[in-house]
Amino acid sequence: MIQETHSNIDILFFGTSRFAVPVLEALVTHGYRIAGVVTRPDERAGRKCLLTPPPVKVTAVAHGIPVFQPKKLDVRDFTEGKIPQADVFIVVAYGKIIPKAILDMPRLGALNIHPSLLPRWRGPAPIQYAILHGDAETGVTIMQMDEEMDHGPILASSKFQVLNSKFVYKELYDILARMGAELLLETLPRWLKGNITPIPQDESGATYSKILMRGDGRIDWKKSAREIERMTRAFHPWPGAWTIWTRDGTPLRVRIEEADAIDAPPQKGSAGHVWRDAGHPLLVRTGDGSLVIKKIGAEGRRVLGAEDFIRGYPAFLDTVLE
């Protein structure tokens, strides 16, 4: 590879979500030339369904960087000059598959920042899955993209210890976003100088996350209290960890916002049985141990502490959640 410096290369940045913003900001701050930003189209969001630009677009516009928002990536957009070509692509949380014909265009490759220690947790929800499965460590990986999902050879990675931590998804998301920006600033100059040989991923260690659906948040009370506690953190704020309470014959969705796990089960009841003891105003029996409810909210109502919730819904005690 011909040695390059950041002063004589053009970068085309692909990104959409808030996770990509620290990376784009870091590149701009450190003097990299951004030929343009490719992001997803504006979408309607919020209660008023207002047309809202992606966070990356807001950042790009603030820095005077040209923005391109194709509904579908097409090679002709690049060959016909609608989207500028560049020496290297940087892809961070773009949210769409980039065709191989486009990935092959930049002479210095297409690099992706992924929020896991690849090949563990390929796919769209790696942070949630790391929390959900109680991983001792997670991190970020920079890889050279190929046509398969999160499959390309690795340039660099950075680890972050999460053993025995209580991070919720949004907290870990922000930490890994900053780590990704820092790792790229360390890695990109070495890549441009030809000082990195990408290492193929070990396929025997590959695991996969999937797109989360609302139904993924439904609690199975036969699981252990520790598994369910991790679920409340992994799925916060969406899809949330929720259960069904049948109140006066009517099913009511109840969301567990914050919880702890303890080993002690009640003396009676099956998995899902709601109880209390002298030290805890609200517990639920699980397949192994009990879940200590700290914050909880009925659907359409505000989130309450356990004591306040029981005061407002005394019939919740001694029921069985589904």
The CATH number of whichever domain residue 40 belongs to comes to: 3.40.50.170
We report the CATH number of the domain holding residue 253 as 3.10.25.10
Look at residue 6 in the predicted model and tell me its pLDDT.
66
For 89-107, letters b (16+ CB in 10 Å) and e give bbbbbbeeebeeebbebbe
Q: Which of 17-31, 129-143, 261-275, 291-305 has the lowest mean pLDDT?
A: 261-275
Look at residue 231 in the predicted model and tell me its pLDDT.
98
Q: Which of 18-22, 80-84, 141-145 has the lowest mean pLDDT?
A: 80-84
- Average pLDDT taken over every residue of the chain: 94
Q: Where does a domain end: 180, 205, 230? A: 205
Domain count, the chain: 2
| Predicted confidence (pLDDT) per residue in 162-172, tens digit | 998 999 999 99
107 with 69, same domain: the answer is yes
Q: Where does a domain end: 183, 205, 227? A: 205
Q: Give all strands (DSSP E) within the chain, no chain letters.
A: 10-15, 33-38, 43-45, 50-52, 67-68, 88-92, 110-114, 137-144, 154-161, 241-247, 250-262, 274-275, 283-285, 290-298, 304-305
Per-residue pLDDT, averaged over 130-150, amounts to 97
272 with 146, same domain: the answer is no
Q: Cis omega before residue 119 (within 30°)? A: yes
pLDDT above 70: percentage of residues in the chain: 97
11 with 113, same domain: the answer is yes
Q: Which domain holds residue 260?
A: 214-316
In a domain, 39, yes or no: yes
User: CB-based contacts of 310: which residues, under 8 Å, 6+ apart?
Assistant: 276, 281, 282, 316, 317
| Predicted confidence (pLDDT) per residue in 210-220, tens digit | 999 999 999 99
Look at residue 4 in the predicted model and tell me its pLDDT.
57
194 with 222, same domain: the answer is no
164 with 136, same domain: the answer is yes
221 with 84, same domain: the answer is no
Return the axis-axis angle of helices 55-62 and 21-29, rounded to nearest 10°: 20
DSSP, res 41: P
Count of H-run helices and E-run strands, the chain: 8, 15
Look at residue 299 in the predicted model and tell me its pLDDT.
87
Closest to 291 measured CA to CA, from 281, 303, 299? 281
CB–CB of 106/85 below 8 Å?
yes
The structure tokens listed for 280 are 């805890």
Per-residue pLDDT, averaged over 168-197, amounts to 97
243 with 177, same domain: the answer is no
Q: Which residues pair with 38 in a beta bridge?
A: 14, 68
Banded model confidence at residue 2, pLDDT cuts 50, 70, 90: very low
192 with 112, same domain: the answer is yes
In a domain, 140, yes or no: yes
149 with 242, same domain: the answer is no
In a domain, 322, yes or no: no
In a domain, 54, yes or no: yes
pLDDT > 80? residue 15: yes
271 with 163, same domain: the answer is no
In a domain, 38, yes or no: yes
Measured CA to CA in angstroms, residue 204 lies from 88, 126, 200, 230 at distances of 30, 18, 12, 26
Measured CA to CA in angstroms, residue 102 lies from 79, 80, 84, 216 at distances of 10, 13, 12, 34
132 with 178, same domain: the answer is yes
In a domain, 1, yes or no: no
pLDDT > 70? residue 147: yes
Q: Give all strands (DSSP E) within 42-167, no chain letters.
A: 43-45, 50-52, 67-68, 88-92, 110-114, 137-144, 154-161
Q: Where does a domain end: 205, 237, 261? A: 205
Query: What's the rounded Cα separation, in Å, for the pair 291 and 289?
Result: 7
Look at residue 277 in the predicted model and tell me its pLDDT.
87
241 with 274, same domain: the answer is yes
In a domain, 36, yes or no: yes
Q: Is the dihedral of CA 149, 86, 33, 81 positive or negative?
A: negative
In a domain, 321, yes or no: no
pLDDT > 80? residue 234: yes
Query: What's the rounded Cα separation, in Å, for the pair 189 and 111?
Result: 13
Measured CA to CA in angstroms, residue 291 lies from 11, 28, 132, 256, 312 at distances of 49, 46, 15, 10, 20
